[in-house]
Structure 1
Amino acid sequence: MKLQIEKAVYGGSCLAHQSEDAEAGKAVFVPFTLPGEIVQAHLMGEKSGFAEASLQQVLTASEDRVQARCTHFGECGGCQYQHANYSAQIKMKTAILQETLERAGLSELPEIQIHTGQPWEYRNRVRMRVAIVDSVFRVGYNRRSSNEFLPIQECPISAPLLWRAAAAIPQIASEDSLAGRWTQRVTEVEFFINEDEKKLQASLFLKKDQAGFKEFCDRMKDLIPELIGAGVFLLPSSGTQRRAQKPRSLSTWGAEGLSYRAADESYWISRGGFFQVNRSLMDELIHIVSSERQGTLAWDLYAGVGLFSRVLTRGFKLVVAVEVAGEDLARSFKGPGRHAVEATTLDFLRSAVIQRERPDLIVMDPPRAGIGAEVCVLLGRIAAPRIVYVSCDPVTLARDLKMLIDVGYTFEELHMVDMFPQTFHLETVVVLRK
C-alpha cells in the first residue's frame, strides 16, 4: 500500500488511512514513520476497526527524519522514535497528550508546559536477558513484538556504567573458573546506579541455584569497581501461575541497596525497589510536583520511596506518605512532620473519609493502571483544595481526570515531562484545584 502518514498515535506507530477519504478508509497503523511522510507499507493484519502494516520504503521523507543512533533500532523492542529528531519527538508526544485528553471529553485544557532533558544516556536502570547465541554468551533484550532474544552490543539510552556492567557478564561467563561457570546459569540481570554513576547494584536471576555467587561478585567487583551490592534470585518455574509468582531471594553480597541524591535530598532504594529512571529530569519532576507548595497537611499517595514526600516537608507541617510496599519508605521517612503509612491508597482513603480528614494538597503517582473509579469518588468526597496527579500513561490519566472533573475539580496546570526519550512513553503532571 502507498500511504500518506497523518499523525503519531500513542504506542509508537503513526496513523494513515487506506483511502484518501479518511472517513471512508480504514485506519492503518505503521511504525517507524513520521507525520507528513508518504510511504510504501505492507499489510500485516486487519481487525474490525483498523489495520496494522510494516514499513517497506519511505517514498517522501519528513525533514524530521534522522539516522537512528543505535544499531539495534527497529529490531529491539525498547525504542520507537530514534528515527525522529528530538524536537519532532516532543511535538509528537505533546500532540498525542493533547488529543488523548480531548478524546476523553476534557475541554478548557491549560497550555501544555514542556520539560526536556538529555535525550541519550539518561536511564539509571536496565534489565536484560542473558543467553548463549552461536556458542557465545550474550546479553540482550526482546525483539520487537516478540519474546525472542535479541543479543545487543550497545544501548545508548542507558548510562555508560550500566552498559559497562552488562558487558562484564559475558566476559566473566567466558572464563574457566567457578565464577564463570556460575555466570552461565544466569538468565536475566538488572543493574541500577546512583545519580553520579559511582555506585552500582546488581540483581541476577537464575532458574537453578548452584555454588559460585560470591566468586562471581568478587570477579565483577574487579571489573566494575562501582559495584557495591548484588543479590541472586530464583525465577519461578514455568507454568500458568509463573507471572503471579515473585522471584525468591537466594543470596546477597554487599550493601542491600544504595543512596540516590535528588533535589538536595538523599533517598534509600533497596535492591529491586522502584525509582524514576531518568537521571537528567529527576530534579525537574520533583520541582514541578513538590516545590513552592505550602500548607498544613499534604498526602503523598503511591509514595514509593518518598520521592515527593521529602520535598513537600519543606512547605507543610505534616506530610503523610502512603505506599503499599512501604519498607524503604518506613525506614527513611521519619521524624517530626513525617508519617509513613504502609497501606493501599484505596484503604487509606476509605479510612480518611470515615475520619473526615481533609488535606491541603494530595499528590498521586500511581502505576500505569491509574487510580480508578473508586479512588476518584473518594477524592471527590474528601475535596482537597489541590491535587497533583503524576502519570506515565495518558490513556488511564485521561479516564481518571474525566471522573475528577465530574466531581468538581478544574485544571490549573498541565505539564509534559519527557522522562523516556527515544520511546513513545511520556510522563504527565496535572495540577487540579477544587
Structure 2
Amino acid sequence: MEKMVYGGDGLARTPQGVVLIAGVIPGERASVRLEERRRGVRRGQVLKLAETSPDRIVAGCPYFGRCGGCHYQHISYARQLELKQEILAECLERVGKIRLDVPISVAASEPWEYRNRARLQIEKQGSEFAIGYYELFSHRLCPVERCPISSPAINTVIAVLRQGVGAACFPDGHAELDLFASDGDRAAMLATIESPVAAPPGFGEKLRAAVPFLESVCWREQPARRETVWGSGAVTYRVGEFHYRVSHDAFFQANRFLHEGMIQAVTQDLAGAHALDLYAGVGFFTIPLARRFEKVAAVEAHGPSAQNLAANVGVVGLRARVYPKPVEKFLTTASHHWDLVLVNPPRSGLTPIVVEHLRRVRSRRLVYVSCDPTTLARDLAHLTPSPYQIRSVQLVDQFPQTFHIETVAHLEQAG
C-alpha cells in the first residue's frame, strides 16, 4: 500500500492500474481481489494480509468493516493523525499547488464517545425492530447495539429503542432518526425523524416518556415536509461561558470534546473593530468574536440556523448584527472595510462569487474553517499568495476513526 487518500482508502499501484482498498495501512502488503471498474475507479477487497503495519490495532467496534460510519479503527490514533496531516498537505499541493512554508499543527480529540450527533437508520416490521447505520458502500442496514464513537446520551437512546420502545412507537417501514445531544451531567436531546408516512398519534409523548432527557421530538413526513413537533423544539448547548440555542435541523459542531478548542483555534489572537462571520450557523464563532471585536456582522442563509443565530447573539447586544441571507447576496452590497473575515462554508467550499469578493475586500485577516481539504485547496489557490498569504494551518480532529478532516487556516494580507 503506497498511501492513504482522502475518502478512507489505501492506494496501491498494480499492473492493472491504481486500486483503492479499504481497511489497509501504508506499507502493508496484501492479496487483493480486484472488483469491476466503476466510474473510472477500480476497488480491491483484501483477501489476506502478507505484511502488516506496526500501527495496526484491533478495532474498537465489532461492526467495523461492515458499518460505513468509520474508516480508521484498525489504525492507532497517533498514526491516524499523521495520515490526516499527510493527506491534507498532499491535497493542498496536488489540488491547490500550495507547498506550505509552515508546519500543519494538530488538535487531537478523545478518540471515543465524542459525537454529540448521530444519524441512524431504522427498520421496523411488526415486532421486529432494528436500528443502526448503512453498511459500507451500500444502503443495507447494519444493526448496532451501541456506537463507540457516539456520546453516552446517544447510546442510551439506542439501548432504550432496542429494548422494545422502538417496536412499540415506530410504524412499519423505514425511518431516519437524527439525534443531537447537549453535553454535561444533565444532557438534553433533540430527535428528528424523517419518514414517508405521517406521525403516529402520540408518538412524541411515548418517546419522551421513555427517554426523560429527550427535550423535543420532530416528525417530518417526506416528501410532503409536514412536521409535527412535541416539546420545546430546541436545546441549549453550553460551551464554556457561551450558551447556544440549537433547534431541529440547525448545524452545530459534532465533537463534544473540541468545542472550546475549536473556538480557540479560530479566534486565537484576533481582535479589532469590525469582524464579518460568513456561514455563521447558530453563532458558534459569532459570539466569541463579539467579545473580541467592537462589531460583528453574521451572515447565514439557512432558515432554522439563522433563527437560532438571531436568538443567540441577543446575549451580546448591539455588538453583533444578523443578516439572514445568502453570503453572495450580502457581499454584493457589503462594506469592504473589515479587520477580520471568517468563512466556514459547507463541504462544497466557496462559490466563485464569494472568492472574488474576498479578493476585493482585502481584510487584514482571513480565517477559513474547512470540512473538506480538496475544496479548501481549490479556494486557497485563488486567495494566495495574493492578496493573502498563509499564516498558519491547523488540523482539528473533529472526527477520530474516520477519514474526515477539519482544518483552520489563518491568512493575512500579503506584503
Same fold (TM over 0.5): yes
Taking only the aligned residue pairs, the percentage that are identical comes to: 35
The 8 Å contact of residues 389 and 411 in structure 2, kept in 1 or not, is answered as yes
Give the TM-score taking structure 1 as reference length. 0.89
The 8 Å contact of residues 168 and 220 in structure 1, kept in 2 or not, is answered as no
> Which of the numbers 286, 293, 315 marks the counterpart of 2:292?
315
Deviation at 1:408, TM superposition (A): 1.7
CA distance in 1: counterparts of 2:39 and 2:211, whole angstroms: 53
Q: Structure 1 residue runs of 4+, over 6 Å off?
A: none
The 8 Å contact of residues 367 and 392 in structure 1, kept in 2 or not, is answered as yes
The 8 Å contact of residues 301 and 362 in structure 1, kept in 2 or not, is answered as yes
* CA deviation map 1:275-313 (0-9, x unaligned): 010000111011111243110000000000010010011
* CA deviation map 1:334-356 (0-9, x unaligned): 3121101111111111112xxx4
Partner of 1:389: 368
CA distance in 2: counterparts of 1:408 and 1:145, whole angstroms: 42
Deviation at 1:219, TM superposition (A): 3.5
The 8 Å contact of residues 169 and 183 in structure 1, kept in 2 or not, is answered as no
Deviation at 1:314, TM superposition (A): 1.4
For the residue of structure 1 that corresponds to 2:318, the secondary structure is: coil
The 8 Å contact of residues 173 and 183 in structure 1, kept in 2 or not, is answered as no
CA distance in 2: counterparts of 1:185 and 1:79, whole angstroms: 26
Aligned residues: 406
> Which of the numbers 409, 418, 432 marks the counterpart of 2:397?
418
Partner of 1:374: 353
Structure 1 segment 295-374 matched on structure 2, within 5 A:
295-325=272-302, 326-334=306-314, 335-352=317-334, 356-374=335-353
For the residue of structure 1 that corresponds to 2:384, the secondary structure is: helix
Give the TM-score taking structure 2 as reference length. 0.93
Structure 1 segment 5-404 matched on structure 2, within 5 A:
5-19=1-15, 26-46=17-37, 51-103=42-94, 104-132=96-124, 136-173=128-165, 180=168, 182-184=170-172, 187-196=175-184, 198-213=187-202, 216-236=203-223, 247-249=225-227, 251-325=228-302, 326-334=306-314, 335-352=317-334, 356-404=335-383
For the residue of structure 1 that corresponds to 2:82, the secondary structure is: helix
Distance change >3 Å, CA 257–CA 420, structure 1 → 2: same
For the residue of structure 1 that corresponds to 2:256, the secondary structure is: coil
CA distance in 2: counterparts of 1:184 and 1:328, whole angstroms: 34
Partner of 1:240: none
- Whichever residue aligns with residue 407 of structure 2, its letter is T
Deviates more, 1:102-111 or 1:341-350: 102-111
The 8 Å contact of residues 123 and 277 in structure 1, kept in 2 or not, is answered as yes
RMSD: 1.9
* CA deviation map 1:54-90 (0-9, x unaligned): 1111111101001111111111111000010101111
Distance change >3 Å, CA 174–CA 340, structure 1 → 2: closer
- Whichever residue aligns with residue 209 of structure 1, its letter is A
CA distance in 2: counterparts of 1:185 and 1:43, whole angstroms: 35
- Whichever residue aligns with residue 248 of structure 1, its letter is R
Distance change >3 Å, CA 226–CA 139, structure 1 → 2: same
For the residue of structure 1 that corresponds to 2:158, the secondary structure is: helix
CA distance in 2: counterparts of 1:67 and 1:418, whole angstroms: 21
